[in-house]
Chains A and B, each alone.
Chain A
Amino acid sequence: MAKFIVRRFILLLITMILVSIAVFMITEASPGNVAKNVLGAFITPEQEKSFLAQMGLDKPAYVRYIYWLVGSDWLADDKVGMKLRRVTTEDGFVEWWAVRSDGALVRWKLEGDDLIAVARLPSLGVATEYTNNGRWQTQEDGTSFFWGVDTANHVVKWEKGADTEVWNFVIGTGWMKASGGPVQYIPLKKGFIRGDPGVSLRTGRPVSKTIFTRLRNSVVLAGIAFVLVMPVALLLGMIAGLKEGSLQDRFLSIGGMIFSVIPEFATGIFLILIMAVWLQIVPGATVFGESAPWQRPDMLVLPVLTLTLIELGYILRITRASMVEVMKSPYIRTAQLKGLPYWRIIFKHAVRNALMAPITVIMLHVNWLMGGIVIVEVVFGYPGLGKYLLDSAMFKDINGLEAGAMILVLLAVGTQLVADIIYTFLNPRIRYT
């Protein structure tokens, strides 16, 4: 069993790496341009080039993949010659600083030919500036260069007198042209496997922060739907399965089928039209702003109901099929011939065995359920992981897309593993070797 789990776990890791490479390659090959997405369609080629260099997007794809996976700060450490540290500000933005030998945090900027160091002692919190020309190094052709941390989270290489023109985009002011820019950029990140999925190109915020909220919202949505749907679907499925072919069985199984095959967006539209437009009981869209989903339960009603209806039919039909099969088995007939009361046969003999199939199949269904959640989130404008993923994919925001994709794969493969393990407990005849 342990061996089985370990092997499956390794397979999970391999799948995640394969998917992350595939997402990277496919995004690479796809048409469209992230610089135009971020900055609008009217940027000049120079502005685009400068932007791509600052984001590290001018580097070859495999280099970017490695940076994304394991980070770039270990590489930059050597160039700067100091340890680098990541600091999170109160506003939730990430800053990178070099650590001086006395423990102060330093960054640099270039003014004319002078290097200005911005130092901050952790105890003081106030930054002091001083000229730091001693750090210029000379390369073979006689010019001076310097590797340092700039004020926008890159490790950069400045060259004295190179006078590179750069375009910086400052939110609120627009494009700022500056001379004396660096000639080379390495954007700093810790890398995905070290817990830093990077900064979203779409929002400019760390992906990890946004995605946590989004994931929480999606889990709330799916969780409520799951808790509601399970008992109802299992109960109805068993009622339908007990009397195969009866009127109530036909009604339940055809009704269940209809709800489970109609696309989620159509169900969502029907519910909005009936509940929000016609009857006007609940709002037809979800606008949470800063508040968490559970603070506005009225807005949760329709998304939860849509998910519930779709899952209801599916689970109902599996439970029904399983119940029908169990009721035909010899041990039920034996129990009947022994003269046991009907309810006792049902609850003591049939139900336990009939629930085995649905529970494992439901776990395998998570893969499918995710698709439903994405659609439901889009229909109702619900700020969940699915919508984040769609927006990131449309924007070509590679960091957001990769992080979302990894979470989905982890959930899908992880639940399958859990389902396999649960199955061994439910059915001791199964052994994994």
Chain B
Amino acid sequence: MTDGESAVSTSGDAVDPIPDLRQRSFFQRWWEGFSIIFASKTAMVGLFLVLFWIFVAIFAPFLTPYTPLEQDWKSPNIGPSAEHPLGTDELGRDLWSRLIYGARVVLVVLPISEDLWIPGGTAIWGVIVALVVGTALGLISGYYGGWIDEITMRLLDAMMAVPIILLYLIIMAALGASAINVVIAMTIVGTPGIARLVRSLTLDIRTREYIRAAETRGENPWHIMFIEILPNARGPIIVDAMLRVGYAIFAMGTLGFLGLGIPPPSPDWGSMVAKGREFILAGSPWAALWPSVAIATLVVGLNLLADGLREESMRYQ
């Protein structure tokens, strides 16, 4: 977790030793933290990959003349051509448009029903909800201690002991396949780890003087937990959350591949690979290849970015 602290302190306001009376604007501080990336080649490569996918995800409707569901019965399973830059799948759907709409589901929109969606990708929501639940549990059990702590932690320990894949299997088999249920499954799987981290931070921060002071003032416990403790624990939590985004994309792809993710015909990288796999030996590898490349470049990009950032921020220490 020292990495996390360092990443935050260098990206924050510790750079300038002389206190500046004028508060630098939010964007200035943010840019200072951000400019670390340019010092590291690996981080730049990672940033490029991630930005590429974010860009195509946001502007997907403008980057392809086809919708991801449009079928062309005359040309199923063909390779790259002028009309279809990456080829088509077994139903003649354009792979490029399915790929970028798939990126949209991962990074930009969470489809709730047929025609209702909310901003923020499925993987992003999976991390956010797990973060909210895990942070609340960690704060409560760390701050109150005693039997609340004991019960919460024993239950979370038992959950952590269960193999993750088994948790995903039984949760998704029970809930059925949908984007919301993927978020729920990610929350259940992610919560124990986050709760443990937040609890350990809370146990440390609880002993500080300003918490004593707040208690003496007679502050409400919720105020102490969420206004006094949480902001002071945010560094490691944010770094942990960033790593979890990569893992969430990984998990989403895996669920889709097992047929437990977002149900067809909606474009999902994992299920595209699962379907395309059947046609590899029939001589058309494209439908399986492109989504595999997509998910591989996205998670590698995220990890290169995180790795480069960590390395650079450690160098300044």
Chain A contributes a number of interface residues (CB within 8 A of B) equal to 51
**Which residues of the partner chain A approach B17 to less than 8 Å between Cβ atoms?**
none
Query: Do residues B166 and A405 form an inter-chain contact, with CB atoms below 8 A?
Result: yes
Query: Do residues A265 and B164 form an inter-chain contact, with CB atoms below 8 A?
Result: no
Residue interface bits A368-394, CB-to-B below 8 A is 1, else 0: 101100110011000000100110011
**Which residues of the partner chain A approach B285 to less than 8 Å between Cβ atoms?**
273, 277
**Is the CB of B175 closer than 8 A to any CB of chain A?**
yes
- Within the complex, the shortest CB–CB distance from B99 to chain A, in Å, comes to 13
Question: Taking chain A's interface residues, is the majority helix, strand, or loop, or is none over half, making it mixed?
Answer: helix
**Is the CB of B174 closer than 8 A to any CB of chain A?**
yes
Residue interface bits B146-178, CB-to-A below 8 A is 1, else 0: 000000000000100111111011110111100
Q: Within the assembled complex, what's the spacing in Å between the Cα atoms of A181 and B237?
A: 63
Query: Do residues B273 and A269 form an inter-chain contact, with CB atoms below 8 A?
Result: yes
**Which residues of the partner chain A approach B273 to less than 8 Å between Cβ atoms?**
265-266, 269
Task: Tell which of A258, A261, A263, A416 touches B254, judged by Cβ atoms closer than 8 Å.
Answer: A263
Q: Within the assembled complex, what's the spacing in Å between the Cα atoms of A374 and B292?
A: 18
**Which residues of the partner chain A approach B288 to less than 8 Å between Cβ atoms?**
269, 273
Query: Do residues A394 and B280 form an inter-chain contact, with CB atoms below 8 A?
Result: no
**Which residues of the partner chain B approach A18 to less than 8 Å between Cβ atoms?**
158
**Which residues of the partner chain B approach A416 to less than 8 Å between Cβ atoms?**
161
Query: Do residues A269 and B292 form an inter-chain contact, with CB atoms below 8 A?
Result: yes
Task: Tell which of B258, B281, B300 touches A390, judged by Cβ atoms closer than 8 Å.
Answer: B258
Query: Do residues A266 and B161 form an inter-chain contact, with CB atoms below 8 A?
Result: no
Identity of the chain A residue whose Cβ is nearest the Cβ of B285 in the assembled complex: A273
Categorize the interface residue count of chain B: 35 or more
Q: Within the assembled complex, what's the spacing in Å between the Cα atoms of A269 and B293?
A: 10
Identity of the chain A residue whose Cβ is nearest the Cβ of B276 in the assembled complex: A269
Identity of the chain A residue whose Cβ is nearest the Cβ of B176 in the assembled complex: A31
**Which residues of the partner chain A approach B164 to less than 8 Å between Cβ atoms?**
367-368, 370-371
Query: Do residues B161 and A22 form an inter-chain contact, with CB atoms below 8 A?
Result: no
Given A254-B42, A266-B295, A277-B280; A26-B170 close (CB under 8 Å): yes
Residue interface bits B242-286, CB-to-A below 8 A is 1, else 0: 000010001001100111000000000010011001001100010
Query: Do residues A257 and B307 form an inter-chain contact, with CB atoms below 8 A?
Result: yes
Query: Do residues A389 and B166 form an inter-chain contact, with CB atoms below 8 A?
Result: yes
Query: Do residues B174 and A379 form an inter-chain contact, with CB atoms below 8 A?
Result: no
Query: Do residues B292 and A266 form an inter-chain contact, with CB atoms below 8 A?
Result: yes
Query: Do residues B165 and A386 form an inter-chain contact, with CB atoms below 8 A?
Result: yes
Residue interface bits A241-264, CB-to-B below 8 A is 1, else 0: 000000000000010011001111
Identity of the chain A residue whose Cβ is nearest the Cβ of B253 in the assembled complex: A263
Residue interface bits B30-63, CB-to-A below 8 A is 1, else 0: 0000000000001000000000000000000000
Identity of the chain A residue whose Cβ is nearest the Cβ of B171 in the assembled complex: A26
Query: Do residues B280 and A265 form an inter-chain contact, with CB atoms below 8 A?
Result: no
Task: Tell which of B169, B270, B293, B296 touches A393, judged by Cβ atoms closer than 8 Å.
Answer: B169
Query: Do residues A30 and B258 form an inter-chain contact, with CB atoms below 8 A?
Result: no
**Is the CB of B299 closer than 8 A to any CB of chain A?**
yes
**Is the CB of A15 closer than 8 A to any CB of chain B?**
yes
**Which residues of the partner chain B approach A374 to less than 8 Å between Cβ atoms?**
165, 169, 258
Q: Within the assembled complex, what's the spacing in Å between the Cα atoms of A257 and B307?
A: 9
Query: Do residues A27 and B281 form an inter-chain contact, with CB atoms below 8 A?
Result: no
**Is the CB of B303 closer than 8 A to any CB of chain A?**
yes
Q: Within the assembled complex, what's the spacing in Å between the Cα atoms of A7 and B257?
A: 39
**Is the CB of B205 closer than 8 A to any CB of chain A?**
no
Query: Do residues B259 and A394 form an inter-chain contact, with CB atoms below 8 A?
Result: yes
Given A14-B158, A15-B162, A284-B280; A257-B303 close (CB under 8 Å): yes
**Which residues of the partner chain A approach B161 to less than 8 Å between Cβ atoms?**
15, 367, 409, 412-413, 416
Q: Within the assembled complex, what's the spacing in Å between the Cα atoms of A23 and B163?
A: 13
Query: Do residues A261 and B257 form an inter-chain contact, with CB atoms below 8 A?
Result: no
Given A389-B166, A390-B258, A413-B161; A379-B277 close (CB under 8 Å): yes
Query: Do residues B169 and A261 form an inter-chain contact, with CB atoms below 8 A?
Result: no
Q: Within the assembled complex, what's the spacing in Å between the Cα atoms of A374 and B254?
A: 10
Q: Within the assembled complex, what's the spacing in Å between the Cα atoms of A408 and B163?
A: 7
Task: Tell which of B162, B171, B258 touches A409, judged by Cβ atoms closer than 8 Å.
Answer: B162
**Is the CB of B289 closer than 8 A to any CB of chain A?**
yes
**Is the CB of A270 closer than 8 A to any CB of chain B?**
yes
Q: Within the assembled complex, what's the spacing in Å between the Cα atoms of A107 and B34?
A: 79
**Which residues of the partner chain A approach B170 to less than 8 Å between Cβ atoms?**
22-23, 26-27, 393, 401, 405
**Which residues of the partner chain B approach A409 to less than 8 Å between Cβ atoms?**
161-163, 166
Given A263-B295, A367-B164; A273-B254 close (CB under 8 Å): no
Query: Do residues B289 and A273 form an inter-chain contact, with CB atoms below 8 A?
Result: yes
Residue interface bits B54-97, CB-to-A below 8 A is 1, else 0: 00000000000000000000000000000000000000000000
**Which residues of the partner chain A approach B230 to less than 8 Å between Cβ atoms?**
none
Report, nearest first, the 5 A-B pairs whose CB atoms are least far apart. Answer: A371-B165, A30-B174, A266-B292, A26-B174, A393-B173
B→A interface (CB under 8 Å): 42, 158, 161-166, 168-171, 173-176, 246, 250, 253-254, 257-259, 270, 273-274, 277, 280-281, 285, 288-289, 292-293, 295-296, 299-300, 303-304, 307
15 chain-A/chain-B pairs, Cβ below 8 angstroms: A18-B158, A27-B173, A29-B174, A30-B175, A258-B300, A261-B303, A262-B299, A263-B299, A265-B253, A270-B292, A272-B277, A284-B280, A367-B164, A370-B164, A370-B165
Contacts beyond the supplied A254-B307, A374-B258: 10 A-B pairs with Cβ under 8 Å: A22-B170, A26-B171, A26-B173, A30-B175, A257-B300, A258-B300, A265-B274, A266-B295, A273-B285, A374-B169
